[in-house]
Structure 1
Amino acid sequence: MNLKAERGAATRDKVLTIATRLFAERGYDDTSIETVLQESGLSRGALYHHYAGKEALFEAVLEATEAAIGAELVRAVRGSRDAEEALLTGVLAWVRLARDPVIKRIVLTDAPAVLGWERWRAMEERYSFGMLKAALDATGAVPAEFLDLHAHMLLAAVNESVLMVARGGDQATAEAAVREFVHRLLRPR
């Protein structure tokens, strides 16, 4: 990689790190480009060379966060004995990951509002929601024509558990409820 490309990558990484922290701490609405510029020491032109604006910067932060979540979920399910165990392990890993203030604020709270549901869901398809759907499909527990619907319902139930914990609920209780929900989904009585 040439020196100019290396500097560009370093600048993008620096801005993403700073913007991730600011968006997580303050939220999208209360994070200004001016604050990102002040903290990064970049000129407005340098920032806009890499990102078209605040929304594009947020989208890049979200993309990086989703990629990190995806990598962590893959690590969590590595070594699972079968598809059902992988699904449950991945879902419970997501419940634990979603406690992270960065993930909670950026992925679960601000992303749907900033990008709109359609764009947010498209990104989720490429990352954690896509992985959830593939894992659910691998179990063979859901007919193909209902896979998308069941995956959405599972994600909604899991995310609601995460949000309950965020509002002061008990982590162990939420994990137990998610475990029970996944078992009932895979093995209805």
Structure 2
Amino acid sequence: MNLKAERGAATRDRVLSIATRLFADRGYDDTSIEVVLQESGLSRGALYHHYAGKDALFEAVLEATESAIGGKIRQAVRGITDPAAALRAGVLAWISLAGDPVIQRIVLIDAPAVMGWERWRAMEERYSFGMLKAALGATGAVPAAFLDLHAHMLLAAVNESALMVARGGDPTTAMAAVEEFLRRLLQP
């Protein structure tokens, strides 16, 4: 890679890091391009060279966040050969990750509103939801004709469980209750 490309990649990474923090702390609506420019030290032209605008910057932040989530879930299920056990481990990993305020704000709260449900769901299909659907399908517990429906319903239960844990008064107790519920729900 040449020096110019390396500098461009470093600039994109730095802007993504700053934007991720700002979107997580302030939310999409209260994060202005001006604040990103101020914190990054970039000119408007330099920022727009890499990202067409605030929506494109948010989408890049979401994509990076989803990719990181997918990597952590894959790590949590690595080496588990039983499909049902892998599904449970992946779901519990997601619930733990969803307790992270960055993930809550960017993925669960702002993404559907900013990107619209269809674009957000298309990205989810490439990452978390796609992994969930594949894992559910691997268990053989759901006929193929109903896989998409079951995966959507399971995702709804999992996301609500994650929000319960994240917003509950005692996350340890809430996580234990959710783990027990999911173990029963996902019994082979």
TM-score by length of 2: 0.95
Report the counterpart of residue 12 of structure 1 in structure 2. 12
Contact 1:22 1:31 in 2 (8 A): yes
Count of residue correspondences:
187
Contact 2:12 2:50 in 1 (8 A): yes
Report the counterpart of residue 72 of structure 1 in structure 2. 72
The alpha carbon displacement at 1:163 in A equals: 1.4
Query: Is it true that 1:161 corresponds to 2:161 in the alignment?
Result: yes
Question: How far apart are the structure 1 equivalents of 2:90 and 2:58?
Answer: 26
Report the counterpart of residue 185 of structure 2 in structure 1. 184
Identity across the alignment (%): 78
The residue correspondences of 1:74-153 to structure 2 (distance < 5 A) are: 74-153=74-153
Question: How far apart are the structure 2 equivalents of 1:7 and 1:98?
Answer: 33
Report the counterpart of residue 3 of structure 1 in structure 2. 3
Contact 1:92 1:179 in 2 (8 A): no
Report the counterpart of residue 54 of structure 2 in structure 1. 54
| Moved segments of 4+, more than 2 Å | 165-187
Question: Could you report, residue by residue, the CA deviation over 1:128-181 in whole angstroms, capped at 9, with x for unpaired residues?
Answer: 110000000000000001100100011100101111223225434345335434
SS of aligned partner of 1:123:
helix
Question: Could you report, residue by residue, the CA deviation over 1:85-139 in whole angstroms, capped at 9, with x for unpaired residues?
Answer: 0000000000000001110000000000000000000000000110000000000
Question: How far apart are the structure 1 equivalents of 2:180 and 2:28?
Answer: 33
Q: Which runs of 5+ in 1 are unaligned?
A: none
Q: Which runs of 5+ in 2 are unaligned?
A: none
